[in-house]
Every structure is written in C-alpha cells, then in structure tokens.
Copies of this chain bind each other. A is one copy, B any other.
Amino acid sequence: MSAEHEDYLVLEKQLCFSLYSASHKLVRSYRLLLEPLDLTYPQYLAMLVLWQQPELNVKELGEKLYLDSGTLTPLLKRLESKGLVSRTRSVQDERVVQIRLTEQGKALKTQASHIPMAIFQQSGLPLEQLLQLKHSCDLLFKQLEAL
C-alpha cells in the first residue's frame, strides 16, 4: 500500500463520513420538531409526498423516496395505525396497494407548516450555501445512480 493511498484512510478526511454524520445529525434535529406530530423523519417524508399527492401506490411512493417495499410496508402500516393514511388493494390490479391520506392526515399538514423554516433557522447557514449544498448532494446522487 502506498503512503499516498494510506492517507485517504483517515476518518476526518473523508467526505463520506461528513455526509453520513450530517445526515444523521439532521434526522436527530427533526426529532424534537416532529415529536408533537408523533412522526419519525422517514414518516414525515412519506407525509410530504402525500400532502402533494394524496393518493398513490406503494411503488410510486417508493420511487419518490428511493425506498423499497421492505422499508415502506411497515412504515405505512404504522401511519395507518395512527389514522393518517388508508391502505387498500386496487380492484383493477390486486397486486397494487393504494395509499390515501385520511382527513386526519390532511389536517396534520397545518401542524407541519413551520418545520422547514425552523430547520432552516437551526442550520444557521446562509440560504445560498444550503442551496449549493443541496445541488451538490443531488448531483452526487445522480452520479452514483448512473453506475
């Protein structure tokens, strides 16, 4: 192993660890904000999609969130048990499960409206830097996707 390569095996120098840690820290920051809504961060992400499109199936939701049914099925069952969504098999194609926002689920949007701004303020970073960070993350995602 060359000394040159060895240098890269240092935790503090790795972008990946920074991204990994920042992502977990962010999820932890959401925890307090989401506690009053009784949602976890992945559940909140699912609700974000449903607030835009109140009815879609598991596959469509998975494509938006980049998550598979092994993750979504139990998550959606938990949302269902809280009365926020309904899960019903499609009549046309019985393989498909339609997810629908309930009235209670729709109502929750009001309580969530302050969250994006709250997180923005907690980040303490200028908007421009956050937008650039988002852009780089999106680009990185697409590059790794393409492989």
Copies of this chain, complex-wide, total 2
Q: Range of interface residues on chain A?
A: 35 or more
Docked-complex contact A23 and B23, CB < 8 angstroms = yes
Q: Is residue A29 contacting chain B, with contact meaning CB distance below 8 A? A: yes
Q: Is the interface of A mostly helix, strand, loop or mixed?
A: helix
Q: Is residue A37 contacting chain B, with contact meaning CB distance below 8 A? A: no
Q: Which residues in B have their C-beta under 8 angstroms from that of A27?
A: 20
Contacting B at CB under 8 A, from A98-147, are: 109-110, 112-117, 119, 122-125, 129-134, 136-141, 143-147
Measured CB to CB, the closest approach of chain B to A101, in angstroms, equals 13
- Convert A26-66 into 0s and 1s, putting 1 for each residue whose CB lies closer than 8 angstroms to a CB of B: 11111000000000010001001101100000000000111
Q: A residues within 8 Å of B by Cβ?
A: 1-2, 5-6, 8-11, 14-30, 41, 45, 48-49, 51-52, 64-66, 109-110, 112-117, 119, 122-125, 129-134, 136-141, 143-147
